[in-house]
Structure formats: C-alpha cells, structure tokens
C-alpha cells in the first residue's frame, strides 16, 4: 500500500513540471523525429490514467522506462550504479559500527567519566560537521598533503582490488563517521536503559558474573533500538549519499539521481526514487523480522 502511494507520487513528478518534459530534456538535441519517438516510447502520448497503469505495470516487471538523455533503459542505468552504492553502503556501515559499538558501550558502562565525555564530543562532532566539509578535509590531508590515497574515482573489485580498496577508504570514512555518531547515541541510551532494568539489578544482587549480566541481560535488550537505527542508516546509505558521491566522484545511485534532476531526465529520477522507497520498505521488513528473532515475546504479542 505504501509502495503504491509512492508510485503515484513518483509518477506525478513528470506532470508537475512546467513545459514539455521531453522537450526540456532534449534541449539543443531536439528534432521532431527524436521527440515523437521518445514520446511514444515513454508512453506520454496516452491518456493520464492509462499512462500510470502502463508505467506501474512495467515497473512491476522491472521495466522503468527509457532515459530521455541517453536512450538507455533506466533499469540498466540503475544496475550499472548499484555495485558502487552497495560497496560504499556496506563499508560505511562497518565504519559506523566500529565507531559506535565500543564508544557507546564504554560510555554507558562508565557514565560521567572521561570516556563518556569523549564519546559525547565525538558523536556531537560527527552529527554537526557537514559531510561535504569532512570529505574535503579528508581529501586535503590524505590525498593532497600525505598522498596516501586517491582523491576520488571508482574501479571495480574484480578489475583492481587494491585500487578499489584505496578509493573506498575516504568516502567510507566520511559517510561512516556521520552514521556512527548517530548510532553511538542510540547504543549509549539503550545500554543505560537496559542497565537500569529491574531484572538486571536482580541478577547483579544475586552475584551473577558481570560478563554474563552484560551478555545475556543488557546487550540482548539493548539490541532492539540498535537494530532499528542501524536499519535506518543502512537504508539511508543504500539510497545514495549524494554530496559524498559528488565530492569523491563516486558513481552511485545518489549521483545518478542528482544528474537526473540536473538534466531533467525524469524517467531516471522516477526509477531512482521508486527504488529508494522500495529499499526503505524492505529494510523495515527485515528489521521487524529480526525483532522477533532477538526477542520472541514480540512475535507472540
């Protein structure tokens, strides 16, 4: 139902723009033959309701239309950019978890200590600093001054594994720091809440070893909010981090959507937005399924 509503909004994009979207997209490449062929191929010569039903029916089968600019299918363009987006999303999430889990746990286990204050400063810094500024600083230091890493670009893992890793490091750090700062706060707050629960205090009073209390009573209950926020961050990363991708010339879905807006390539924009909505829905479903695995009481309620 949600996806159907999103599809209506996405379809409406092309009709909310002033002027003829095909004429605007063609620009100086306009010719009557090209215009007529592209209009017919895109189904824009049909009545509005029939246009939507045709577009939605094709979208269900994976046919998202044809790019106004390149003439390639939208599905092919998305499939071409997907590996780069998946790579960056997974790497950035790993960086985020490496930052968030130790900082959040140590901060919660030692409240009002130096570690707690350090975690607060780090998380506040990551949330407050614009990702484009952090990206530029990383390029200036590690690519410009030290010359350790490339300043941008992308190569596939199969083509050049070392070059792939070198080009992945900086954008993954720039993106992962922001996500890690958000997750750190949730890890700290959920762990503090779990530590204050009655059953945890009872276990401590009975002399249950600290390691066992943390493993079986604290961390397991603190996992639920962590799974939620991690799922949201993963969906956000899979939807493309536009600014970071532009700064590092990373050919992901975020840059594809930006280029579609710039070139007024509405079929590509429609396909990208529809995919982003689908990603959020699928990840929310997976998070709900994980909930029942972590805490079986949820599935019974």
84-119 pLDDT tens trace: 998 999 999 999 999 888 888 888 888 888 888 888
CA distance 63 to 111: 54
Q: Which of 132, 139, 152, 126 is nearest to 233 (CA)?
A: 126
Q: Which of 277, 246, 265, 276 is nearest to 72 (CA)?
A: 265
Write down the pLDDT at residue 278.
86
CA distance 20 to 31: 14
129-182 pLDDT tens trace: 888 888 999 999 998 888 889 988 888 888 888 989 999 999 999 999 988 888
Q: How far is CA 154 from the centre of its chain?
A: 18
Q: Which of 72, 73, 126, 85 is nearest to 103 (CA)?
A: 126
Alpha-carbon separation of residue 102 from 106, 175, 189, 190, 253 (angstroms): 6, 18, 13, 14, 31
Question: Do residues 119 and 266 both lie within one domain?
Answer: yes
Question: Do residues 147 and 194 both lie within one domain?
Answer: yes
Question: Do residues 207 and 276 both lie within one domain?
Answer: yes
Q: For the residues 53-75, what does the mean pLDDT come to?
A: 82
Domain count along the chain: 2
- The answer to whether the beta carbons of residues 182 and 229 sit under 8 Å apart is yes
Domain extent at residue 151: 75-294
Write down the pLDDT at residue 107.
86
Last residue of a domain, one of 39, 61, 83: 61
- The answer to whether the beta carbons of residues 153 and 245 sit under 8 Å apart is no
Q: For the residues 42-69, what does the mean pLDDT come to?
A: 79
Residue 152: which CATH number?
A: 1.10.3720.10
């Amino acid at each position: 139902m949600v996806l159907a509503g999103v599809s209506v909004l996405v379809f409406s994009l092309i009709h909310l723009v002033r002027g003829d979207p095909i004429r605007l997209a063609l620009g100086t490449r306009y010719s009557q033959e090209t215009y007529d062929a592209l209009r017919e191929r895109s189904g824009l010569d049909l009545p509005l309701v029939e246009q939507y039903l045709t577009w939605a029916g094709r979208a269900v089968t994976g046919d998202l239309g044809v790019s106004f600019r390149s003439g390639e299918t939208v599905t092919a363009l998305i499939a071409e950019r997907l590996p780069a987006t998946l790579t960056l999303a997974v790497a950035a999430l790993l960086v985020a978890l490496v930052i968030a889990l130790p900082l959040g746990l140590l901060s919660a286990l030692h409240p009002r200590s130096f570690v707690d204050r350090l975690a607060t400063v780090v998380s506040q810094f990551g949330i407050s600093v614009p990702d484009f500024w952090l990206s530029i600083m990383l390029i200036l230091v590690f690519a410009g001054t030290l010359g350790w890493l490339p300043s941008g670009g992308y190569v596939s893992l199969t083509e050049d594994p070392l070059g792939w890793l070198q080009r992945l490091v900086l954008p993954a750090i720039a993106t992962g720091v922001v996500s890690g700062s958000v997750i750190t706060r949730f890890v700290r707050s959920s762990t503090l809440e779990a530590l204050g629960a009655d059953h945890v205090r009872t276990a401590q009073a009975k002399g249950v070893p600290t390691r066992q209390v943390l493993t079986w009573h604290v961390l397991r209950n603190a996992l639920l909010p962590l799974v939620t926020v991690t799922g949201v961050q993963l969906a956000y990363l899979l939807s493309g981090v536009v600014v970071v991708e532009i700064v590092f010339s990373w050919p992901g879905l975020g840059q594809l959507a930006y280029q579609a807006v710039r070139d007024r390539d509405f079929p590509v924009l429609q396909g990208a937005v529809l995919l982003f909505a689908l990603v959020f829905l699928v990840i929310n479903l997976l998070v709900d399924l994980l909930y029942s695995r972590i805490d079986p009481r949820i599935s019974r309620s």
